């Protein structure tokens, strides 16, 4: 066992790697009544072009999300029902960059952990259960496509990216999931659910040695090689400056995106990018105050940033009666900061606010587990944020804004109210 200590946060992470490559991280919380566990795969919706054993595959969009749904079904029943019978609360999610399965419980933790490890690493696919799942996921896709906020999010990514698969909705479409069959699901499971590509994170009360022995007993002894992935040659400029859709909303919803360079250090750029977005449009900035006083933005206005293999982008979302005016104001502020630099007080306030957000996330067991899985897949550890924040310079933040301020790097998606008649 290796121990990573973070005295400034009063935290530690206990870690080991099994012979099959499975990475295990445990965060002790002696005062917690609940224990949370997450088994995450470094496999997201963008991973649809890959090579295994010298053969290249282009799988249909939505495959990672479909696989997430199907793994809960086992030959002897359903993992969800097994968790429920023991009083545990399971769930799962698929993002652009990862798939994660998790549960929280107050008792019978090791029984629940065995269920988690077993169903994720032992797939059971038949023609019948795959066909049945298409109807269920099809309904979920309909719900997503009818959600204005999700439509704006997918829309801005389609406006930003011409080639990279991040432009495609995580769940895919009804058309894209139609050809999915057991064979392609087994292919993706083999390529991306190797123990080498999985991370187990536990937070709460546990016995570390017992967690390790259980994982060693349940997970496969032999680990398949991880598939190698490619994401296409994405241009530096946006695919289109504006995307719009009319939906049943009372006020226009918008999302402004700024295309950034692919990260060399994904974890550090994620933090710098988030800080840069806060410095431009956070609640303590002059820009937000001006937009708010002019009635162009309200408390829904939110800056964000995310990195992924092959790219990164800043996102500014909210509701406004004049979304084009918000975009213009954002563009002007970025041009100003790119040319003149960043005010020291804004930099310090924004850094303090973002650091506080990470502290709040790390106080929650589910937040810690997700932070750790995402950090590991980015080559870091969850609590590294404390040291990284100390070392981020104002010049690094300005450099990100300068990248966003380049010509044709900004796009906007608008979900506008439907016109009557």
The stretch 26-34 carries a mean pLDDT of 93
Locate the domains of the chain by residue range. 2-229, 242-417
246, 416 in Cβ contact below 8 A? Answer: yes
pLDDT value of residue 77: 86
Residue 418 pLDDT > 80: yes
The stretch 99-119 carries a mean pLDDT of 97
- Closest by alpha carbon to 277, among 206, 186, 351, 182? 351
- The class (CATH top level) of 2-229 is alpha beta
Same fold, 2-229 and 242-417: yes
Torsion angle of the four alpha carbons 247, 250, 252, 254, in this order, in degrees rounded to the nearest 10: -80
pLDDT value of residue 420: 64
- Closest by alpha carbon to 155, among 272, 77, 232, 243? 243
Residue 421 pLDDT > 70: no
pLDDT digits (tens, 9 = 90+) for 323-382: 999 999 999 999 999 999 999 999 999 999 999 999 999 999 999 999 999 999 999 999
pLDDT digits (tens, 9 = 90+) for 231-274: 999 999 999 999 999 999 999 999 999 999 999 999 999 999 99
First to last CA, the chain: 68
pLDDT digits (tens, 9 = 90+) for 136-154: 999 999 999 999 999 999 9
The overall average pLDDT reported for the chain is 96
Residue 33 pLDDT > 70: yes
In whole angstroms, give the CA distance from residue 308 to residue 135: 30
- The class (CATH top level) of 242-417 is alpha beta
pLDDT value of residue 222: 86
Burial string for 281-305 (b: 16+ CB within 10 Å, else e) reads bbeebebbeebeeeebbeeebebbb
pLDDT value of residue 216: 97
């Amino acid at each position: 066992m290796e121990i990573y200590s973070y005295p400034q946060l009063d935290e530690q992470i206990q870690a080991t790697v099994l012979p099959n490559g499975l990475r295990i991280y445990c965060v002790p919380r002696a005062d917690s009544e609940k224990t949370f566990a997450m088994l995450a795969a470094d496999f997201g919706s963008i991973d649809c072009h890959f090579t295994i054993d010298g053969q290249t595959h282009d799988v249909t969009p939505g495959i990672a999300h479909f696989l997430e749904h199907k793994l809960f079904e086992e030959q002897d029943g359903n993992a969800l029902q097994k968790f429920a019978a023991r009083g545990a609360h399971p769930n799962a999610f698929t993002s652009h960059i990862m798939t994660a399965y998790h549960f929280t419980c107050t008792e019978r933790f090791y029984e629940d952990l065995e269920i988690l490890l077993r169903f994720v690493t032992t797939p059971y696919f038949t023609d019948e259960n795959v066909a049945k799942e298409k109807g269920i996921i099809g309904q979920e896709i309909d719900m997503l496509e009818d959600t204005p906020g999700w439509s704006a999010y997918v829309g801005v990514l389609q406006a930003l990216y011409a080639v990279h698969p991040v432009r495609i909705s995580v769940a895919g479409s009804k058309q894209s999931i139609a050809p999915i069959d057991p064979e392609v699901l087994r292919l993706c499971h083999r390529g991306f659910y190797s123990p080498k590509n999985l991370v187990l994170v536990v937070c709460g009360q546990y016995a570390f040695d017992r967690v390790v022995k259980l994982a060693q007993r349940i997970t496969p002894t032999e680990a398949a090689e991880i598939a190698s992935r490619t994401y296409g040659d994405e241009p530096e400029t946006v695919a289109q400056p504006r995307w719009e859709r009319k939906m049943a909303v009372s006020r226009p919803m918008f999302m402004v995106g700024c295309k950034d360079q692919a990260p060399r250090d994904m974890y550090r750029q994620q933090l710098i990018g988030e800080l840069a977005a806060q410095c431009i449009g956070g609640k303590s900035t002059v820009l937000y105050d001006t937009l708010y006083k002019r009635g162009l933005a309200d408390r829904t206005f939110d800056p964000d940033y995310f990195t992924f293999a092959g790219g990164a982008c800043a996102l500014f979302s909210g509701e406004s009666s004049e979304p084009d005016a918000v975009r213009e104001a954002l563009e002007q502020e970025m041009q100003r900061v790119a040319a003149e630099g960043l005010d020291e007080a804004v930099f310090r306030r924004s850094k303090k606010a973002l650091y506080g957000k990470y502290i709040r996330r790390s106080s929650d067991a589910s937040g810690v587990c997700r932070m750790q899985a995402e950090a590991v897949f980015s080559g870091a550890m969850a609590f590294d944020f404390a040291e990284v924040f100390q070392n981020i310079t104002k010049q690094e933040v300005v450099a990100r804004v300068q990248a966003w301020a380049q010509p044709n790097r900004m796009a906007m998606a608008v979900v506008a109210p439907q016109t009557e008649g």
